[in-house]
Each structure stands twice: as C-alpha cells, then as structure tokens.
Amino acid sequence: MLWSMGAKTKPLSLTKVAQTRSAVERVRQTERPTEIQLFVRASGRCEFAGCNEFLLEHHLTLTPGNFAQQAHIVAFSRRGPRANAKLPAAYINSLSNLMLLCPGCHKLIDDNPRLYTVARLKEDKAAHEDRIHHLTGISSNLKTTIVQLKARIAGRTVSMPFSQIAKAVEPRYPIDRKGIVIDLTGINANGADFIAVAREEIVRKIGQLSAAGLDTDEPRHLSVFAMGPIPLLMCLGRELSDKVESDVFQRHRDTEKWTWKTSDAAAEYVLKAIRLGTEQTSVALCLSLSGKIHAEALPTAIDERFTVYELTLGNKQPNPAFLNSRADLTGFRMAYQKALRTIGSQHSGVSELHLFPAIPAPVAVLCGRELLPKIDPKLLVYDADKATDGFTLVLTVN
C-alpha cells in the first residue's frame, strides 16, 4: 500500500497509482497518425529557425536512430512554458501545436518562453514545413550539379557556404553537396607558371563532368559558382562550352550572398568603336563594365593599326555592383554575342581579338562559354597589372 501525504488522506493502491500515472502520460502522448504527420511535414529535421538538424541519425557518429523530440508550442501542463488554460485538451496534442525539435533547441525555447513566444514558434514551424513541402515537390529534372572554382584574390579566398548555394539555385536543387570543386588555392606558383598549372587543373576537373556522363542524352544542368582571376574564369567558361545547360551565379558585394536579386531596370549594353585603326584584322575589345578602360591605357602594342571597340553600359556608369539580376547577365550574353558577330563582319579575316576586361566573375565565364571557335576569333586575354598600372597578356582562349 502507498499513502499520500496529509493527516486525512486515504491509502492509494498500486493499481490506482499506475492508473493515475497512465492518465498523465495520455495527456503527454500524441496519437500515432499525428506523430507520423509531424515527422513527414518536418522531414525528420529540427523546425527551429536556422537549425534544420537531421534527427534520424546521430549528428556525430551518423548512427541511425530517433533523436527527435516532439515539443508543445502551448505547454500540455498549466504551469509549462507558454501555457494557456483556456485551450481545449484536444488542441494541446494536435499537429498544429507540435514542433519537431532537437533536444538543444527544445530546451532553449522552453527555458526562454518570453523570447520564444507562441506566435514566433508558429512562424518557425510554418516556414520550415512550407520549405519542406516546396523542396519535396520539385521534380527530378530540376537537379543540378554544382561547379565551384576557388582561387585566392588579393591573398584571400571567398567563402561559398553550401546553404547559400542551395538557396541560390532554387527552384533547382543540388544532386549532392560536393559537386565539382576546382580548388586553385593550393597551387604553389606565381605569374605565368600559376596560370599554366591552374588552366590544366580546370581542364582536368571539367573533364570529369564528361566522364560522369554529361555528354549523354539525359538532360543535365550545371550551376557555376566561381571566384578567381578573370582570364582563368574565361578558361572555365570555354571548357564548359554550350554542351550542357548552365547557370552562372554572382556573389553580391553588399549582401555577400549568391542569390540573384530582382531588378526593375535591367542593365543596358552598347557597343561602339572608340578608335579606328589602319589594319583590317587588328582589333581590340574593351569590356568596360565594372570600370572604365581608356584607350590610352592600353599597351603600346595596341597601336594605330588597331581598331578598338568598347562594350559598356548604356544606362549607367560602369561600376563593380552593376550586375544584380539574371536579366543583367542574360542581357550581357546577347550583347556579347552580337559584338563578336559585328566584329567578325566588319573585320573580315580577323583571327585574333585582343580582349581587355573590367568585368565581374559571371561575365568572365560567359566570355569563354559563348565563344564559337569555328566562327569567332580566338581571344587574347589581358589582365590588369597593378605593378605596372597597365595590362599584361595572360593567355589565349579559343
């Protein structure tokens, strides 16, 4: 026999105690269909905003298991966090009042109920479940292979977090987390030696895409995230060519993220001859987009023989932040193709085009990708040389 405390209490049988405990547990427990719906809607991940931890395997050992906790937004106990005695009992264990959480996030929200209010937690739950619903609704033909090129710029390497990449490629989604990574940061060379070794690595890595079956009839797609020297980005674009559908992404200076912005007014591009030369087949093209390239700043080898063209912005001054939207990049692609065809028609027999770029990374990739080797002249690509405050011929793209 068990006795409850107090002078006038009656003894409680073990059966009665068990029944009382069982009744309390029934208040805590959710029905099996509700539990299944919660796991499915959350996709087995923590629903606390920004966490997203997968809860069906141990985060360190990757051992399979159920490490999730079903948390009440409004507490089941009248003394619990965010409790509301006026709500009916049936609501407490309903799907709309439950969140799937990892143990750490569960403790955090229950220890800080004033910060993590009912309204805030409902927003987290809705946002997470809406995202899962959207992502699981994407058909398989929206898969994309991530291609990353990393190189030091002024001694630093730009970070490319996978979370930002996944957000940028929506509504597509990456085939895997790794993709193809062209890491040039470990090349122990400088100047022309660095360019030569880096170019070989680009060719080798892009060759792996073909080896993986990208030249088959099966639809494929690439999402390109690249930061590095402009000439090498042109090499990357040339190796990608137009065999596979590709999207190229921009890292925005203000947000430091890769998702394309929306813009009411897309960039406009104009091509003009800024100097006429004496030789029909001597031609240079300045891409004055991120900054202005003046004809007088060109190397002495680009002399009076050369006709110099400029492709620049028509509705704004050249600046590093002009490229904001997909429409801006699409507009450049069309203007660049037109410029190459115009030069080809105006300068019959031209086999080389001396290219001086002041452009963002995605534009550089397109400069190589949109080149038609049987129609367009090969590109002699120059790079700005801070040591001489001029331009140096770096490589040829054809």
CATH code of the domain containing 229: 3.40.50
296 and 352 together in one domain: yes
- Residue 65 inside a domain? The answer is yes
For residue 291, the model assigns a pLDDT of 94
187 and 306 together in one domain: no
Provide the token pair at 254.
């203000």
Beta-ladder partners of 156: 153
- Residue 256 inside a domain? The answer is no
For residue 266, the model assigns a pLDDT of 86
- What is the domain count for the chain? 3
Q: Phi and psi of 103, rounded to 5°?
A: -55, -40
234 and 194 together in one domain: yes
225 and 197 together in one domain: yes
295 and 351 together in one domain: yes
123 and 147 together in one domain: no
64 and 26 together in one domain: yes
Q: Are 388 and 382 in contact (CB under 8 A)?
A: no
Provide the token pair at 166.
């996944």
3-state secondary structure string across the chain: CEECCCCCCCEECHHHHHHHHHHHHHHHCCCHHHHHHHHHHHCCECCCCCCCCECCECCCCCCECCCCEEEECCCCCCCCCCCCCCCCHHHHCCHHHEEEECHHHHHHHHHCCCCCCHHHHHHHHHHHHHHHHHHHCCCHHHEEEEEEEECCECCECCCCCHHHHHHHCCCCEECCCCCEEEECCCCCCCHHHHHHHHHHHHHHHHHHHHHHHHCCCCCCEEEEEEECCHHHHHHHHHHHCCCCEEEEECCCCCCCCCCCCCCCCCCCEEEEEEECCCCCCCEEEEEECCCCCCHHHCCCCCCCCCEEEEEEECCCCCCCCCCCCHHHHHHHHHHHHHHHHHHHHHCCCCCEEEEEEECCHHHHHHHHHCCCCCCCCEEEEEEEECCCCEEEEEEEEC
Q: Could you give the C-alpha distances from 90 to 28, 30, 31, 130, in angstroms and in order?
A: 11, 10, 11, 24
Rounded Cα gap, residues 242 and 207, in angstroms: 14
Written as tens digits, the pLDDT of the chain (398 aa) is 333 334 444 454 544 444 444 444 435 567 888 999 999 999 999 999 999 999 999 988 989 999 999 999 999 887 889 988 788 878 888 999 999 999 999 999 999 999 999 999 999 999 999 999 988 876 667 889 999 999 987 777 778 899 999 999 998 889 888 889 999 998 888 888 999 999 999 999 988 876 554 444 444 789 999 999 999 999 999 999 777 889 999 999 888 899 999 876 889 999 999 999 999 999 999 999 999 999 889 999 999 999 999 999 998 999 999 999 999 999 999 999 999 999 999 999 999 999 999 999 999 999 999 998 889 999 999 998 776 678 999 999 98
For residue 74, the model assigns a pLDDT of 93
- Residue 114 inside a domain? The answer is yes
For residue 317, the model assigns a pLDDT of 93
Residue that finishes a domain, picked among 136, 167, 193:
136
285 and 379 together in one domain: yes
183 and 233 together in one domain: yes
For residue 140, the model assigns a pLDDT of 61
Rounded Cα gap, residues 357 and 6, in angstroms: 89
298 and 198 together in one domain: no
For residue 76, the model assigns a pLDDT of 82
Range of the domain at 193: 140-249
For residue 24, the model assigns a pLDDT of 42
Q: Are 262 and 251 in contact (CB under 8 A)?
A: no
Beta-ladder partners of 143: 173
186 and 70 together in one domain: no
Q: What is the pTM of this model?
A: 0.66
180 and 205 together in one domain: yes
